[in-house]
Amino acid sequence: MARETFPARLLQKVCLSESAQCYHFEFEMVDRASFEYKAGQFLSAVAVDGNGKTQTRAYSIASAAQGNRFNLCVNRVEGGFFSNYLADLAVDSVIQIHGPHGHFVLHQPPVDAIFVATGTGIAPMRAFTQELFPETGAEAGADRSGGREIWCVYGTRHESELYYREYFEQVAAKHANFHYVTTLSRAPQEWKGNRGYVQQYVGQIVKAREVASGSAGLGSTALGQTQAEGAPPEFGVYTYICGLNNMVSEVRNLLAEHGWDKKQVIFERYD
Ligand SMILES: Cc1cc2nc3c(=O)[nH]c(=O)nc-3n(C[C@H](O)[C@H](O)[C@H](O)COP(=O)(O)OP(=O)(O)OC[C@H]3O[C@@H](n4cnc5c(N)ncnc54)[C@H](O)[C@@H]3O)c2cc1C
């Protein structure tokens, strides 16, 4: 049986990168006063393709819950149906969705966190960051992380593909405990920032924690792991990874080599 879907109207569409054909979308539910979800979750969008076949694709919600509105961040995939359907969507068009879905959500209560993303994998990280450091509503300006250290490590090929860069830079400027680390895999000679893949910078953060806690190679102290008698372990840091499978696997392997428990590594794969 087909799931019940809900209509959502496109209010605004902004091209984030012309070269990568990536778009930011702002939608509003048509007949629902609120759309409740946890930051990091995804929705499923449903549409009929040119052959009359119903197609469903998952898209991370790129914003924290905000009444009946939500944002998406989608790039065109060459030859793909749904990404092109969305990229070509005109303002005021209505799409069908169901959700929210998924377990890619922040550990509660908040502890230290490393967000790792490539490409449009930044979408749920934007939602996490809005959730932890709200800029609107009653808690505007607050630090809902409770002063925890939060890193956002973001890798793309080119500078023009650092989606939402200004937003993340502003949050980092306002909150000393939010660290925004970018890296380009195909940087031009004149680029003064980091080069290479996200794994390298995640490795540096992890090593720095080990050094600071004097527990290089031991894992648990740097990981802030504690365990009351008879209780499951509590972790002082989590890593959240989102993007294509290769990157997700490499970051997971790196953390495993540093002694991280599988439960401390939460991930969402787009392919
Ligand atoms: C939980 C989840 C959340 C997701 N969130 C987002 C999101 O926020 N933004 C976003 O842009 N995409 C996201 N995706 C990917 C999205 O669901 C689609 O796979 C993507 O838009 C391509 O769909 P399509 O119909 O255009 O291409 P398809 O017709 O499904 O695929 C065409 C070809 O492209 C390959 N492909 C599929 N996805 C990608 C990709 N992302 N990059 C490169 N090649 C790909 C396929 O293997 C296939 O060979 C998410 C996927 C999952 C599982």
Mutation choice for ligand 1 from 17, 22, 57, CB with most ligand atoms inside 8 A? 57
**Ligand 1 touching residue 85 (CB < 6 A):** no
Going from N- to C-terminal start, the domains of the chain cover 6-101, 112-269
Q: Which residue has a Cα nearest atom 24 of ligand 1?
A: 80
Show pLDDT as tens, one digit a residue, over the chain (271 residues).
778 999 999 999 999 999 999 999 999 999 999 999 999 999 999 999 999 999 999 999 999 999 999 999 999 999 999 999 999 999 999 999 999 999 999 999 999 999 999 999 999 999 999 999 999 999 999 999 999 999 999 999 999 999 999 999 999 999 999 999 999 999 999 999 999 999 999 999 999 999 998 765 444 445 666 666 666 667 999 999 999 999 999 999 999 999 999 999 999 999 9
Q: Which residue has a Cα nearest atom 50 of ligand 1?
A: 270
Ligand 1 center from residue 60 Cα (angstroms): 11
Please give the number of the atom of ligand 1 that sits closest to the Cα of 104. 1
Q: Which residue has a Cα nearest atom 10 of ligand 1?
A: 74
- Rounded Cα gap, residues 149 and 112, in angstroms: 5
Does CATH place domain 112-269 in 3.30.2130.10?
Answer: no
The residue to which tokens 């994998």 are assigned: 121
Please give the number of the atom of ligand 1 that sits closest to the Cα of 102. 1
Q: What CATH number should be reported for the domain whose range is 6-101?
A: 2.40.30.10
Cβ pair 154, 122 in contact under 8 A? yes
* pLDDT at 55 (0 to 100): 98
* pLDDT at 74 (0 to 100): 98
**Ligand 1 touching residue 77 (CB < 6 A):** yes
Mutation choice for ligand 1 from 13, 49, 76, 83, CB with most ligand atoms inside 8 A? 83
Rg of the chain (C-alpha set):
19
Ligand 1 center from residue 173 Cα (angstroms): 32
**Ligand 1 touching residue 59 (CB < 6 A):** yes
* pLDDT at 91 (0 to 100): 98
* pLDDT at 218 (0 to 100): 44
Ligand 1 center from residue 83 Cα (angstroms): 7
**Ligand 1 touching residue 26 (CB < 6 A):** no
* pLDDT at 226 (0 to 100): 66
User: Which amino acid, residue 242?
Assistant: C
- The widest CA-to-CA distance across the chain, in whole angstroms, is 61
Report how far Cα 84 is from the mean position of its chain's Cα atoms: 21
Q: Which residue has a Cα nearest atom 42 of ligand 1?
A: 77
**Ligand 1 touching residue 58 (CB < 6 A):** yes
Please give the number of the atom of ligand 1 that sits closest to the Cα of 101. 1
Ligand 1 center from residue 126 Cα (angstroms): 19
pTM for this entry: 0.95
* pLDDT at 234 (0 to 100): 79
**Ligand 1 touching residue 271 (CB < 6 A):** yes
Closest CA to 133 of 188, 179, 70, 187: 179
* pLDDT at 2 (0 to 100): 78
